[in-house]
Amino acid sequence: MHSLGKDAIVHWTAYWQFESKASGPQRPLLDLIIEPVWFEFTDVLADGAKVLDVATGNGPVALSCAQRARANRKRLHIDAVDAAGISPPNQLPYSDGHLPTVKFQGGIWLEELPFQNDEFDGVMSQYGFEYADEQQAVAEVSRVLAPGGRLRLVIHARDGAVWKDIGDRNRRLNAVMADDGAVNLVRTLVQAQQKGDAKLFESKLKHLSSAVKDAEKLAVDAPPDDSAVFYSREFLYVFMNRQQYKISELLQSLEDGWKHAVGTSSRYEQMLQVAKSAEEMSGLCENLKAAGLAIAAVRQICDPANGAQIAWQLDAVKPSSAG
């Protein structure tokens, strides 16, 4: 029923619980470009409006709208929901006195929103709507939107700058997680050591110096926060200093790191899969129209520094006359 399946969501839960405030690399810079999109959306909502942020993650959009509304002395009631087990109050440095205006709830799928018909004056989503089953999500957001209500979606752009960056990050990560890539090799070596399998240990050890060289090569073009670089350096460092640790603790810490790396790769792959081309955006518009919404605008959000597309922005309205 859900486009990516329930298994994919566990990686988001792990991410929101333990790893992050926001959803991707390069985030602070891109937030600065996209934030005005949400400020503008907040500004057109009436005082007292009810708003829903779907696939909210740890709530950057919901909180940014709450802060903007508060600054303009406007009361908004914001529900912010996500299929994953989210943890925004613990994770966001800016979750201060604005929080009471945002009600967060995890375990809520876009395909089955637990809200009344016509309940919201605004529905929004940043890099979230596209992860759900499109037909069902379209039906649900149109159902909960009140007549006259506005929908704004910011959607990953296929072939856009972020998509390309994530693709590169994913390729590097897959390389260091491949059989004789630095991360997997270290894991296998330590597993062999724990099992006392000297033959496997010796045969794998032969590949270590080329794995180190490959990891170094990957790092040359990688940004400073690259996961492949991070995990390969961590794993190699731990392996080189393995005498300092108990083997069981060493293995446990590598298994934890491996689990995080698998989660990162899954999230990258999900993003690469759900990002929309121009044609897919047209298809989405048709689906929204069929559900009774009027399309107000579709535009590219671009990086002013270089003109590269970062995302799509789609605005739609539920006509007041819709019954």
Which residues are near ligand SAM by CB under 6 A?
2, 4, 9, 12, 22-23, 55-57, 60-61, 82-84, 109-111, 126-128, 131-132
Q: Between 22 and 45, whose beta carbon lies closer to ligand SAM? A: 22
Q: Which of 214, 166, 205, 199 is nearest to 186 (CA)?
A: 205
Q: How far is the CB of 36 from ligand SAM (least distance, A)?
A: 15
Q: Between 128 and 181, whose beta carbon lies closer to ligand SAM? A: 128
Chain-centroid distance, C-alpha 168:
16
Q: In whole angstroms, what is the distance from residue 47 CA to residue 129 CA?
A: 26
Written as six digits, the tokens of 55 are 């696939």
Written as six digits, the tokens of 134 are 């499109």
Q: Which of 191, 225, 281, 264 is nearest to 29 (CA)?
A: 225
Q: How far is the CB of 91 from ligand SAM (least distance, A)?
A: 11
Instruction: For 204-269, give the DSSP string.
Output: HHTTHHHHHHHHHHHHHTS-TT-HHHHHHHHHHHHHHTGGGS-HHHHHHHHHHHHHHHHHHHHHHH
Q: Between 8 and 192, whose beta carbon lies closer to ligand SAM? A: 8
Asked whether the beta carbons of 17 and 89 are under 8 A apart, the reply is no
Q: Between 12 and 120, whose beta carbon lies closer to ligand SAM? A: 12
Q: How far is the CB of 84 from ligand SAM (least distance, A)?
A: 3
Write phi, then psi, for 315 (nearest 5 degrees).
-115, 135
Q: How far is the CB of 109 from ligand SAM (least distance, A)?
A: 4
Q: Between 188 and 266, whose beta carbon lies closer to ligand SAM? A: 266
Facing residues of 309 across strands?
302
Chain-centroid distance, C-alpha 285:
23
User: Among all residues, whose Cβ is closest to ligand SAM?
Assistant: 57
Q: Between 35 and 197, whose beta carbon lies closer to ligand SAM? A: 35
Q: How far is the CB of 121 from ligand SAM (least distance, A)?
A: 19
Q: Between 111 and 118, whose beta carbon lies closer to ligand SAM? A: 111
Q: Between 45 and 271, whose beta carbon lies closer to ligand SAM? A: 271
Q: In whole angstroms, what is the distance from residue 26 CA to residue 34 CA?
A: 12
Q: How far is the CB of 112 from ligand SAM (least distance, A)?
A: 9
Q: Which of 4, 280, 312 is nearest to 160 (CA)?
A: 312
Q: How far is the CB of 55 from ligand SAM (least distance, A)?
A: 3
Q: How far is the CB of 44 from ligand SAM (least distance, A)?
A: 20
